[in-house]
């Protein structure tokens, strides 16, 4: 219970001065993230790779290379037990969607997704795993 309170407290703290709530509609951004998570949960990394922004596609080149990076660096996003979209913020001119995920083992993870608007729609330009607060669900 104390850990859950710590998470709620951390999420309710004011944003840094450089961060503001985004004025952009969050539904298409959240749908992009959820669609990528759904594709990975279905073990369809070819589809998951389509939600990556051009910079990510250029960095990894193929869906297979992308899959290897995700499985090694971000295993919690492959088949999370629970996904909750939190605040969408603008930081230094970039849109960041905060996401709370609970992995298969019950561990809670906070991630920030940097979103990029492209001619194909919203795509994921970066994902940062935030430091653990020692919280589990």
27 HSE (CA, 13 A, CB side):
0
pLDDT tens figures, 12-57: 344 443 444 555 568 999 999 999 999 999 999 999 999 999 999 9
Residue spans of the domains in the chain: they are 23-129
Give the per-residue pLDDT at 24: 55
Stronger pLDDT, 65 or 16, i.e. the higher one: 65
The answer to whether the CB of 67 falls within 8 A of the CB of 52 is no
Looking at the domain that runs over 23-129, which CATH code has it been given? Answer: 3.10.450.50
pLDDT tens figures, 79-113: 999 999 999 999 999 999 999 999 999 999 999 99
Give the per-residue pLDDT at 85: 97
Sheet holding 94-102, edge to edge: 19-21, 82-91, 94-102, 108-118, 121-129
CA distance 77 to 70: 8
Runs of H (alpha helix) within 13-124: 27-41, 45-49, 54-60, 63-73
Q: Report pTM.
A: 0.79
Instruction: Flag whether pLDDT at 4 surpasses 60.
Output: no
């Amino acid at each position: 219970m104390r850990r859950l309170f710590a998470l709620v407290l951390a999420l309710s703290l004011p944003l840094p001065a450089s961060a503001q709530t985004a004025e952009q509609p969050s539904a298409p951004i959240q749908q992009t993230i959820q669609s990528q998570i759904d594709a990975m949960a279905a073990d369809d990394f070819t589809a998951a790779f389509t939600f990556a922004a051009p910079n990510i596609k250029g960095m990894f080149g193929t869906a297979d290379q992308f899959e290897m990076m995700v499985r090694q660096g971000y295993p919690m996003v492959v088949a999370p037990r629970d996904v909750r979209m939190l605040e969408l913020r603008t930081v230094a001119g970039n849109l960041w969607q905060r996401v709370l995920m609970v992995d298969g083992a019950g561990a809670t993870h906070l991630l920030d997704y940097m979103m990029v608007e492209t001619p194909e729609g919203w795509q994921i330009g970066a994902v940062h795993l935030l430091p653990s607060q020692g919280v589990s669900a």
